[in-house]
Chains A and B, each alone.
Chain A
Amino acid sequence: MNFRKQLKAGLLTNNPVLSQLLGMCSTMAITTTLFNGIGMGLSVTIILICSNVVISLLRKVIPDKIRIAAYIVIIAGFVTMVDLLLKAYVPALSDSLGVFIPLIVVNCIILGRAEAFASKNGVLASAVDGLTQGIGYTAALVVMCIIREFLGSGTFGKGVFGADGIRILPAQYPALMLILPVGGFLTLGCLIALTQWVNKKLAEREAKKEAAR
């Protein structure tokens, strides 16, 4: 099983947010505190695994013509279930993510993986794909959260370590702009640039290895 390869793809070379540029709405909108990022990442990972498994199971039953509609219904079902479960058992998270939980339905990552992977691969591979892509998404969110929270409010882990998190910068220094919409665009732009740079270096190194051989 090439789990490691898939994990590397999910985290870096084929990261859903940073390389495939999918699901950017939620990435920018909710990454203001670490709590939001982890919660959203886990919710999406769970939904991604479930929908990948079910779609992979049904891939031979669903006719080609109506596949998108069928996928959307399945995904919407899982999203609503997660929404209801969060409301019942983790109300704090459901309060702070608000409308972005139901909006996971139109998060392109899930439909994208259904179409690009689960509809062509077996159940186990699809589950692993859901997990690794989910981890990649969560990692991107967490990095965004840490940067924005640190620069924007000067704290770390708001909501995870107590209501106010751990204060690193004194309250008067942080640039509030970073947790406003502007900060979302700027942080994501820089992160994507970094990913492109790292991926290029990796590709160059691979090429050199090949040449040396």
Chain B
Amino acid sequence: MNTFITLFAISLNAILAENFILVKFLGICPFMGVSKKTDTAVGMGIAVIFVMALASAATWAVNEFLLVSLGLEYMQTVVFILVIAALVQFVEMFLQKAMPSLYQALGIYLPLITTNCAVLGVALLNVQNSYTFIEAVVYGLTGGIGFTLAIVLFSSIRQRLEDCDCPKAFKGFPLALIAAGLLALSFMGFSGFRVF
């Protein structure tokens, strides 16, 4: 298949039809945790795009050149989580030195990303789908974009939920989950949408 079409199909899937949060259920914790305000949601989204793309590249390389060649595939989970933790730490230090203003904006979200299952998820799925290097990076990048899309959309819904009148037991978290469910329902509309 044409490389460009493959990449396009991967991107479209990652952003819409197989959205990491709303369809694959990866990265729910930050999705619920930092979606109270739109600007924090945007910050988190950008940080996740950044880390997911980098993590895809790093884990792909580590898997291909280290684990597979040494026959240590069963160590994947341990090695990937270490690579991601180190990567996040490194990005944090780099930003602090090189781009203090960006660090100010994203700093607090970075440590949270280590335990974001979307990041480990993308690394594992890259291996499972046996993507090439370019495909893996594109999948990570667009997966992050899908994450940002969902979290930004959701945060604007959630701001409106704050003042609505509903049964007391549903106040706060449960209502947010139900709103997220409706958002997931609307994303289901994309599921037939495929480029083969």
| B34, CB-defined interface residue at 8 Å | no
Q: Is the CB of A102 within 8 A of B124?
A: yes
Out of A21, A25, A79, A194, name the residue touching B117 (CB < 8 Å).
A25
In the complex where A99-B124, A102-B124 touch, is A182 in contact with B170 (Cβ < 8 A)?
Answer: no
Chain B residues with CB under 8 Å of A102's CB are 76-77, 120, 124
| B177, CB-defined interface residue at 8 Å | yes
In the complex where A103-B124, A181-B23 touch, is A192 in contact with B181 (Cβ < 8 A)?
Answer: no
**B24, B25, B115, B170 pick with most chain A CB within 10 angstroms:** B25
Out of A21, A99, A183, name the residue touching B121 (CB < 8 Å).
A99
The minimal Cβ–Cβ distance linking A71 to chain B, given in whole angstroms, is 10
Out of A28, A76, A182, A197, name the residue touching B185 (CB < 8 Å).
A182
Interface of chain B residues 150 through 185 with chain A (CB within 8 A) = 167-170, 173-178, 180-182, 184-185
Count CB-based A-B contacts (< 8 Å): 116
Interface of chain A residues 87 through 110 with chain B (CB within 8 A) = 99, 102-103, 105-108
Q: Is the CB of A84 within 8 A of B178?
A: no
Out of B82, B85, B125, B181, name the residue touching A189 (CB < 8 Å).
B181
In the complex where A99-B121, A180-B188 touch, is A79 in contact with B173 (Cβ < 8 A)?
Answer: no
Chain A residues with CB under 8 Å of B170's CB are 189, 193
Out of A80, A183, A184, A192, name the residue touching B78 (CB < 8 Å).
A80
Out of A72, A79, A99, A181, name the residue touching B128 (CB < 8 Å).
A99
Q: Is the CB of A106 within 8 A of B82?
A: no
List 10 A–B pairs whose Cβ atoms lie within 8 Å, in order of A's numbering. A69-B82, A73-B82, A80-B75, A80-B77, A181-B188, A182-B182, A182-B185, A184-B184, A189-B180, A194-B169
Q: Is the CB of B75 within 8 A of A188?
A: no
Q: Is the CB of B184 within 8 A of A185?
A: yes
Among residues of B, the one whose C-beta sits closest to the C-beta of A192 is B174
Among residues of B, the one whose C-beta sits closest to the C-beta of A24 is B28
Chain A residues with CB under 8 Å of B82's CB are 69, 72-73, 76
> Please, how many residues of chain A have a CB less than 8 angstroms from a CB on the other chain?
42
Chain A residues with CB under 8 Å of B116's CB are 106
In the complex where A103-B120, A181-B184, A189-B175 touch, is A25 in contact with B77 (Cβ < 8 A)?
Answer: no
Which 7 pairs across A and B sit closest by C-beta, in order of nearness?
A: A185-B181, A189-B177, A29-B25, A193-B174, A197-B169, A189-B178, A76-B78
The minimal Cβ–Cβ distance linking A20 to chain B, given in whole angstroms, is 11
Chain B residues with CB under 8 Å of A192's CB are 173-174, 177
| A83, CB-defined interface residue at 8 Å | yes
Chain A residues with CB under 8 Å of B177's CB are 185-186, 188-189, 192
The minimal Cβ–Cβ distance linking A140 to chain B, given in whole angstroms, is 13
Among residues of A, the one whose C-beta sits closest to the C-beta of B115 is A106
Q: How far is the CA of A180 from the CA of B188 in the complex (A)?
A: 9
| A144, CB-defined interface residue at 8 Å | no
| B95, CB-defined interface residue at 8 Å | no
| A200, CB-defined interface residue at 8 Å | yes
Q: How far is the CA of A71 from the CA of B84 in the complex (A)?
A: 14
Chain B residues with CB under 8 Å of A189's CB are 170, 173-178, 180-181
| A177, CB-defined interface residue at 8 Å | yes
Mark A175-213 against chain B: 1 for CB-CB distance below 8 A, else 0. Answer: 001001111111011101110110010000000000000
Out of A26, A186, A200, name the residue touching B178 (CB < 8 Å).
A186
Out of A69, A83, A108, name the residue touching B85 (CB < 8 Å).
A69
The minimal Cβ–Cβ distance linking B1 to chain A, given in whole angstroms, is 24
Chain A residues with CB under 8 Å of B124's CB are 99, 102-103
Q: Is the CB of A25 within 8 A of B174?
A: no
Q: Is the CB of B25 within 8 A of A28?
A: yes
In the complex where A76-B78, A185-B178 touch, is A25 in contact with B25 (Cβ < 8 A)?
Answer: yes
Mark B106-129 against chain A: 1 for CB-CB distance below 8 A, else 0. Answer: 000000001111001100110010
